[in-house]
Amino acid sequence: MKNIRKLAMSAALGATALAPVAVHAQTTAPSTYVNAPLAKPVAVAQPRNGHCGIFQTCATTKIGLGKGDFMIRLSAVGVLPEDRDSRVWANGAPLAGTRIKTTNQVMPELTFEYFLTDNISLDLIATSTRHEVAAEGGAVGGKLDVGSAWVLPPTVTVAWHFRPHKRLNPYVGVGGTFMWFHNMNAANNGLTSKLNSGFTGGPSINAGVDYQLVGNWFFNFDVKQMFVRMHAWAENSNESVHVTAHDSLDPTVVSAGIAYRF
């Protein structure tokens, strides 16, 4: 009986001694598992003073193109005359096998475009290119320099845009081209001293794509096919020889440039 009381007393004293350790373990151990506070979502960076820079894409920047947008585009344009179906007459007699050849040219081009709806835009191109004109084959033999002329071909196009309000927006269009020939100079070849051409025009079709680079800046690539027939005439110094030429210029016009939306 005495031994039992001693054993019970020893167990009680041992439990009393271990209790602070257990309590300490229970109060300190959970502290290693305390969850860290959740991080707040990172806010979109805002321009200083609430102003979006001209070369910035901000939260307020409209993506893609749509109704009411107005753009001015500066491009490098290549004008590539096709010279289809050329015919030449001298003093009213046809020169069999003789045709007109017009050189290619690269110049800057300015385009103004306004979006009537999200899908439909109206644009006007303005440029002027200088071309050398020659006659070749048939009665002239190899190649005879005729002269040079500047061409002003304002073109109005109505285009349908497939992906309004998207960064990449392809389109197709139809329009009309009007051509004025100015500053025409006859070649000093002893055969022609005067060179002239009438006003002309014709339909055009085109296809292209706009891509939004940053902010309101866009890259544009465009290909136009124009269907235009030229009527020109030349004379020698004493007007004894009168040459008339009809030429389907039908130029292919390729342009690439940068546009800004207002």
Residue 41 lies in a domain: no
Residue 10 lies in a domain: no
Check residue 46 and give its pLDDT: 54
Check residue 44 and give its pLDDT: 42
Check residue 23 and give its pLDDT: 43
Check residue 26 and give its pLDDT: 46
Q: Phi and psi (nearest 5°) for 59?
A: -60, -25
Residue 29 lies in a domain: no
Question: Given the structure tokens 């991080």, which residue do they identify?
Answer: 39
Residue 156 lies in a domain: yes
Residue 116 lies in a domain: yes
Distance separating alpha carbons of residues 65 and 10, to the nearest angstrom? 89
Residue 145 has pLDDT above 80, yes or no: yes
Distance separating alpha carbons of residues 206 and 49, to the nearest angstrom? 43
Distance separating alpha carbons of residues 108 and 258, to the nearest angstrom? 12
Q: Give pLDDT tens digits for 162-180.
A: 999 999 999 999 999 999 9
Token pair, residue 30, equals: 């959970």
CATH label of the domain that carries residue 223: 2.40.160.20
Segments forming the whole domain that contains residue 180: 72-261
Residue 248 lies in a domain: yes
Residue 6 lies in a domain: no
What percent of the chain is modeled with pLDDT above 90? 48
Check residue 27 and give its pLDDT: 46
Residue 164 lies in a domain: yes
Mean pLDDT on 10-18: 46
pLDDT category at 65 given cuts 50, 70, 90 is: very high
Residue 108 has pLDDT above 80, yes or no: yes
Query: In this predicted structure, which of 18-32, 130-144, 204-218, 240-254 has the lowest mean pLDDT?
Result: 18-32
Q: Give pLDDT tens digits for 186-238.
A: 887 666 778 888 889 999 999 999 999 999 999 999 999 999 998 888 887 77
Q: State how many domains the chain has.
A: 1
Distance separating alpha carbons of residues 62 and 165, to the nearest angstrom? 8
Measure CA 98 to chain center.
Answer: 39
pLDDT category at 137 given cuts 50, 70, 90 is: confident
pLDDT category at 138 given cuts 50, 70, 90 is: confident
